[in-house]
Amino acid sequence: MPGGRLMYEERERIAAGLAAGRSYAEIARSLGRPRSTVSREVTRNGGASHYRANVAQQATDWRARRKPGLHRPAPPASDTRGRDPEAVRDFEERFAGMMVQTGVPLMVAKVLASLFTADTGTYTAAELVALLQVSPASISKAVGWLSARDLVRRERDGRRERYVIDDNIWYRTWQASIQSMAMWRDFAQEGAELLSGNSPSGARLHTTSQFFRLLGHDMAESAEHWRRTLR
């Protein structure tokens, strides 16, 4: 109903309207909603080019779970740096939503967004459970995904384990990607030689090997440029 929370079916109709090139006003009229409701919904969930009904619904459900309740006290009016906690929280939600749109699993995106926006860049498992109001198993699985990709590191804090994100995160991840490119290059070249470069399959694999060779070279140069320029 107008003024109430958007339903999933309405989000699907918004996504369909955007895909058809309809304006916010047209979509709003078809839903019987104010234009501002549609505009805010789309802006908050990736913009017109990236809006997805299922992602928007997941983000809304997450926001609902994160509202202050029995297990999470209401945030102060501002933090020690004068920032608006609600604005920070809204950014975290939209940041995680953007990551989901790029292929990052939802819970992983939530954990990563939380670590990025923490001044310390670190949380324990218990702190993440309380912050995101999810199960310890969900946090463990998300951290495992991040650790396997070298996006977070683990540190001992007495009997507890802390998950840490730092300024070298993208350099380490980029280096891991370079290693992956090298593996693709070598295996594709092996296949090209096995199948013969004169055959369609051999030529296809040779082209693949060349692509990853050049890509890996460019990535290595970019990493070195970052190290010299920003470190």
Tens of pLDDT, residue by residue over 26-73, are: 999 999 999 988 988 888 777 787 788 887 787 777 666 555 443 444
Q: Looking up tokens 């923490």, which residue turns up?
A: 118
For residues 195 and 86, what is the distance between their CA atoms, to the nearest angstrom?
Answer: 59
Side chain identity, residue 13: R
8 A C-beta contact, residue 131 and residue 88: no
Cα 13 to Cα 28, 51, 58, 228: the distances in Å are 10, 11, 16, 49
8 A C-beta contact, residue 174 and residue 223: yes
Q: Which secondary structure element, helix H or strand E, spans residue 122, and what is its range?
A: strand 122-124
Closest CA to 227 of 180, 183, 184, 167: 167
For residues 89 and 114, what is the distance between their CA atoms, to the nearest angstrom?
Answer: 9
pLDDT for position 3: 54
For residues 17 and 34, what is the distance between their CA atoms, to the nearest angstrom?
Answer: 15
85-164 architecture in CATH? Orthogonal Bundle (1.10)
pLDDT for position 50: 77
The band of 190, judged by pLDDT with boundaries at 50, 70 and 90, is: very high
Helix (H, G, I), strand (E, B) or coil at 192: helix
Give this prediction's pTM. Answer: 0.59
The domain segmentation of the chain, as residue ranges, is 8-63, 85-164, 169-230
Tens of pLDDT, residue by residue over 78-122, are: 455 677 878 888 888 888 888 888 888 999 999 999 999 988 899
